[in-house]
Amino acid sequence: MRSRWCRAFPGVAEEVAHARHFVAALLHERGPAEDAVLVVSELATNAVRHTLSGSAGGWFLVVVGLGEDLVRIEVVDQGGRRVPHLCDATSEEEGGRGLRMIAACAKDWGVKSWPDGRSVWADLVREDA
């Protein structure tokens, strides 16, 4: 990675917009800002909705890594009982689309486990590379 930036946000839904602005401002003219904003939006929403990051006093971290050919968007959460997984595309249920959208637009994505949480990351190809 050539450069890396990181910022912590309070674990509330309203902060997801701030996470989007953070990524958009960083990637402005460095690309691929649109996909990166979509990815951080879904990941931050998941952190707040599905993990302890969304409980009182919770937080999530956004890490943006800029490589030669790729941009990595990573959201670190505070963990909990649920585990990130791709939902069945044929399911009639509402929801379950966020990680599928990320899988569709990312070159690669994955989950890392930490002692007190997880991070979900996605690598996007730089348009300008």
Q: Least distance from C-beta 119 to Mg ion, angstroms? A: 15
**Is the CB of 26 or the CB of 45 nearer to ligand ATP?**
45
Q: What is the Cα–Cα distance from 3 to 29, expressed in whole angstroms?
A: 15
Least separation in angstroms between residue 57's CB and ligand ATP is: 18
Task: List Cβ neighbours of 35 (8 Å cut-off, separation of 6 or more).
Answer: 105, 106, 124
Given the rule CB under 6 A, which residues bind ligand ATP?
42, 46-47, 50-51, 77, 82-85, 87, 95-100, 118, 120
Min dist. Cβ of residue 50 to Mg ion (A): 7
Work out what residue 83 binds among Mg ion, ligand ATP, none; the CB cut-off runs from 5 to 8 Å by kind.
ligand ATP
Q: Which of ligand ATP, Mg ion, none sits in contact with 85, Cβ below 5 to 8 A by type?
A: ligand ATP
Instruction: Please list, residue by residue across 8-43, b when 16 or more beta carbons sit within 10 angstroms of its beta carbon and e when fewer do.
Output: ebebeeebbeebbebbeebbeeebbbebbbbbbbbb
Nearer to ligand ATP by Cβ, of 88 and 127: the residue is 88
Is residue 49 within a helix (H) or strand (E), and if so which, with residue range?
A: helix 33-50
Structure tokens at 41: 């939006």
Picked from Mg ion, ligand ATP, none, the partner binding residue 96 (CB below 5 to 8 A depending on kind) is ligand ATP
Shortest approach of ligand ATP to residue 30 CB, angstroms?
25
Structure token pair of residue 103: 């899988």
Angle CA(27)–CA(29)–CA(35) in degrees, nearest 5? Answer: 50
Q: Which residue's beta carbon is nearest to the bound Mg ion?
A: 98
